[in-house]
Amino acid sequence: MSTPVPVPNTPQLLSAAAPLREAAVPLPLADVLIQDHFWTPRLQVNREQGIDIQYGHLQDVGALDALDFSHPQPPLPIPVINNNQVTPVMWWDSDIAKWIEAASYSLETHPDPRLENLVDDAVARLAKAQQADGYLNSYFTGREPDKRWTNERDWHELYCAGHLIEAAVAHVQATGKRTLLEVVERYVALIAQVYGPGPGQKRGYPGHEEIELALMKLYRISTNPEHLALAEYFVNERGQQPAYFDLEAVARGDNPASFAFGSNEYAQAHKPVREQNEVVGHAVRAMYLYAGMADLAAELGDTDLLAACERLWDDLTTKRLYITGGLGPSKDNEGFTFDYDLPNDTAYAETCAAIALVFWAQRMLAITGDGRYADEMERSLYNNVLAGVSLDGRKYFYDNVLESRGDNHRWDWHPCPCCPPNLLRLLTSFGAYVYSRTESQLWVNLYVAGEAQVQLAGQDVRLKVQTEYPWDGEITLTTELAQPATFILKLRIPGWSQGAALTVDGQAVDTQNDQGYVTLTREWKSGTEIRLSLPMPVQRVWAHPAVRADAGLVALQRGPVVYCLEETDVHQHLHQVVLPDTSEVTAHFEPSLLEGVTVLTAQGRYDLPSENMALYSSTPPGAETISVTAVPYYAWDNREPGEMRVWLRRS
């Protein structure tokens, strides 16, 4: 591989403050062992089924072959979606990259020579497809090379580049092989030549954000300040006036006013990011942007940028987030509309958006140490994210409704298959979300059976965890270390939990917590046993009165898990089912149902038409008492097709 090309006019860093706090970084995947009755089967299916299935799809659709330019590849017909021209193959490179990233995470925890050979082949194809100047995009190189860098608003060059960067970072960390890393280093050098504030450069940025957070990952393994500078440029330039997307449209002969999605809010480019107060536009783009902003704020000690992230977080979680951790109610823009607009039967709640929310939440948690970010990370993981894939790992949801008449089902693949490889990479890297650490602290963010290994106080420390979470709130943690040592253990008390109890070697410990974490500072010995009890009663949840779609309705939650009704259990039309406020809801575990779940049962009411009842009547309908069974939302649509509802009528 040749030496990276020089980078003239590299954007200079605008900030140079100290990091915001001691970074709480995830543990390396190889140092986290998951032996959990809930997560292990899902991770195993993802690894043993999902990786091969998705590789087969990439072969079948021609994504891998598109990297071979030995034969002409004529421009494809451009399909129209929502009056916007979209060419699926424009983001094939991102699908390949996410697959490589996921496979690399898998190799880090489960070495597999066969899989490594497949990854090596995909990397070799990408390296061969790279152009002499460093450019790497199979669509534009193979089909429309004259349109490079002409439409960042609608097309996906920088988005695909970002995923290639993330894949390269994961690949070198898992295997030590630098081939893909060297490829993306050359590509990033070219991008830094094209975009920036210098003479002859484009004052542009991506329409679909992603490269910002990817560049931060690249910077952290390379320590190359040019990568940090480019990430900062993309974040700071976004939304500056005159609007780059409008100038770009005029330059290619388009009318900016004819943009199918109305305004630059769609891509969060309507104003500079530090001035943004509301979460707007395309949901996935927004979450990726905010994750990149959080990374940059942490690295540069940029309190203004962090403040923008916190304002946007508050806007999302107080006005625009589904109970399942889904976000973005509208199919029209795959994103946000207005405050408290959270329809259930038309919810979009794209799987990718919930995954990207997990990324953002993890970063905000690392910066602030505030458990509210872990709460939302957990909410999305156990609900919207897991609902995106079937229990057998073969079918996927793109959008995640909270109410269905029975016509919503997962699919094998999709014209825009961004969600399956996104799920694949999140689940193969799941261990990175369970624990985090600083120089002297180990944080337990999620309660998952298994163990963590970490260097603290100059020696190896193992923390073993036993639990049946999320079905049971009893958690036992045991320390193993060669010599007694003093360090800090931080245990999360979830926001949904009330009445938590904690003991260390049988002695009660106050669960008074700081921002959702109990801090245990002591000299630890091998065999010290910590018992944390998180009561898990069934909770009725009511929406804010401004949420029209949920007026007069109630949802059920137990621990982090949100529940729903399915027609196959209730055998009735679900909109006619009423859950009285006075009905006791009980929980019990069903080991043979949906691979083992805790179900909720209650006595409900079923509204029936009275005899000869007209379409409209001055007398109320009749009713009968029925048994109501609720199952976890993530597991719906894995049995007989039928209706589904999260929000239930109440009396």
The predicted-structure confidence for 573-632, as pLDDT tens digits, reads as follows 999 999 999 999 999 999 999 999 999 999 999 999 888 899 999 988 999 999 999 999
Beta carbons of 350 and 317 less than 8 angstroms apart: no
Assess whether 47 and 139 both reside in one domain: yes
Max CA pair span of the chain: 83
Residue 337's alpha-carbon distances to 291, 331, 332, 347, in angstroms, are 21, 10, 10, 12
The distance of Cα 115 from the centroid of its chain, to the nearest Å, equals 25
Residue 15 lies in a domain: no
**What CA–CA distance (Å, rounded) separates 624 from 285?**
48
66-116 residue pLDDT tens: 999 987 777 766 666 555 566 678 899 999 999 999 999 999 999 999 999
Among 390, 409, 433, identify where a domain stops: 433
Q: Is the pLDDT confidence value at 1 over 50?
A: no
pLDDT value of position 420: 96
**What CA–CA distance (Å, rounded) separates 107 from 29?**
10
**What CA–CA distance (Å, rounded) separates 580 from 540?**
11
pLDDT value of position 14: 36
pLDDT value of position 363: 97
Q: Is the pLDDT confidence value at 510 over 50?
A: yes
Residue 486, beta-bridge partner list: 523
Domain that holds residue 59: 25-433
302-319 mean pLDDT: 97
Assess whether 226 and 355 both reside in one domain: yes
The distance of Cα 127 from the centroid of its chain, to the nearest Å, equals 28
Q: Is the pLDDT confidence value at 220 over 70?
A: yes
Beta carbons of 46 and 428 less than 8 angstroms apart: yes
Residue 7 lies in a domain: no
Assess whether 492 and 523 both reside in one domain: yes
What are the strands, taking DSSP E only, across 166-325? none
**What CA–CA distance (Å, rounded) separates 438 from 20?**
13
The residue with tokens 């977080």 is: 313
DSSP string across 575-616:
GGEEE-TT---EEEEETTSTTSEEEEEEEEEEEEPPTT--SS
352-380 mean pLDDT: 97
Range ranked top by mean pLDDT from 84-93, 254-263, 550-559: 550-559
Residue 121 lies in a domain: yes
Assess whether 124 and 154 both reside in one domain: yes
CATH number at residue 491: 2.60.420
Q: What is the mean pLDDT of the chain?
A: 93
What are the strands, taking DSSP E only, across 295-359? none
Q: Is the pLDDT confidence value at 19 over 90?
A: no
The set of residues, in sequence order, having a beta carbon less than 8 Å from that of 597 and lying 6+ positions away, is: 471, 589, 590, 631, 632, 635
Residue 199 DSSP label: T
169-217 residue pLDDT tens: 999 999 999 999 999 999 999 999 999 999 999 999 999 999 999 999 9
Q: What is the CA angle 480-484-488, rounded to 5?
A: 80
Assess whether 91 and 77 both reside in one domain: yes
Q: Is the pLDDT confidence value at 5 over 50?
A: no
Q: Is the pLDDT confidence value at 367 over 80?
A: yes
Q: Is the pLDDT confidence value at 52 over 70?
A: yes
413-433 residue pLDDT tens: 888 899 999 999 999 999 999
| 418 is known as an active-site residue | yes
Active-site annotation holder among 210, 232, 334, 350? 334
Instruction: Write the single-letter amino acid at 296.
Output: L
pLDDT value of position 22: 62
**What CA–CA distance (Å, rounded) separates 411 from 583?**
37
- Region of residue 637 (phi > 0: left; psi between -120 and 50: alpha; otherwise: beta): left
Q: What is the CA angle 595-600-601, rounded to 5?
A: 125
Assess whether 425 and 295 both reside in one domain: yes
The distance of Cα 261 from the centroid of its chain, to the nearest Å, equals 24
474-480 mean pLDDT: 98
Assess whether 458 and 427 both reside in one domain: no
Assess whether 348 and 487 both reside in one domain: no
How many of the other CB atoms lie within 10 Å of CB of 132?
A: 8
84-98, 258-272, 331-345, 456-470: the lowest-pLDDT one? 84-98
How many of the other CB atoms lie within 10 Å of CB of 394?
A: 14
Residue 618's alpha-carbon distances to 433, 528, 614, 615, 622, in angstroms, are 56, 68, 9, 10, 13
Active-site annotation holder among 352, 418, 419, 564? 418
Beta carbons of 598 and 589 less than 8 angstroms apart: yes
Is pLDDT larger for residue 651 or for residue 41?
41
Beta carbons of 424 and 57 less than 8 angstroms apart: no
**What CA–CA distance (Å, rounded) separates 14 from 249?**
29
Torsion, CA 497, CA 368, CA 384, CA 104, rounded to 10:
-120
Instruction: Write the single-letter amino acid at 497.
Output: S
Instruction: Label residue 255 exposed, middle or buried (CB < 10 Å: 0-12, 13-18, 19+).
Output: exposed
How many of the other CB atoms lie within 10 Å of CB of 52?
A: 15
Among 400, 433, 466, identify where a domain stops: 433
**What CA–CA distance (Å, rounded) separates 90 from 102?**
21
Assess whether 476 and 597 both reside in one domain: no
Domain count across the chain? 3
Assess whether 389 and 240 both reside in one domain: yes
Residue 14 lies in a domain: no
Q: What is the CA angle 489-493-495, rounded to 5?
A: 150
pLDDT value of position 598: 98
pLDDT value of position 82: 52
Q: Is the pLDDT confidence value at 303 over 80?
A: yes
What pTM does this model have? 0.95
Residue 8 lies in a domain: no
pLDDT value of position 3: 33
**What CA–CA distance (Å, rounded) separates 400 from 634?**
10
Q: Peptide bond before 242: cis, by omega within 30 degrees of 0?
A: yes
Among 433, 464, 484, identify where a domain stops: 433
115-169 residue pLDDT tens: 999 999 999 999 999 999 999 999 999 999 999 999 999 999 999 999 999 999 9
The distance of Cα 627 from the centroid of its chain, to the nearest Å, equals 36
The set of residues, in sequence order, having a beta carbon less than 8 Å from that of 105 and lying 6+ positions away, is: 29, 170, 174, 425, 428, 429
Pick the closest to residue 630 from 582, 562, 584 (CA basis).
562
CATH number at residue 370: 1.50.10
Residue 630, beta-bridge partner list: 565, 600
**What CA–CA distance (Å, rounded) separates 98 from 426?**
10
| 474 is known as an active-site residue | no
**Residue 5 structure tokens:** 């090309």
616 phi and psi angles, rounded to 5 deg: -130, 135
**What CA–CA distance (Å, rounded) separates 343 from 305?**
31
Residue 487 lies in a domain: yes
**What CA–CA distance (Å, rounded) separates 506 from 170?**
42
Q: Give the 3-state secondary structure of residue 34.
A: strand
Cβ-count burial 465-484 (b if 16+ within 10 Å, e if not): bbbbbbbbbbbebbbbbeee
Assess whether 360 and 256 both reside in one domain: yes
Residue 27's alpha-carbon distances to 23, 424, 452, 454, in angstroms, are 12, 19, 8, 8
Q: Is the pLDDT confidence value at 651 over 90?
A: no
**Residue 593 structure tokens:** 């149902």
What are the strands, taking DSSP E only, across 18-160? 25-26, 32-34, 80-81, 84-85
Assess whether 441 and 429 both reside in one domain: no
Is pLDDT larger for residue 77 or for residue 243?
243
Residue 406 lies in a domain: yes
Residue 572 lies in a domain: yes
Instruction: Label residue 275 exposed, middle or buried (CB < 10 Å: 0-12, 13-18, 19+).
Output: exposed
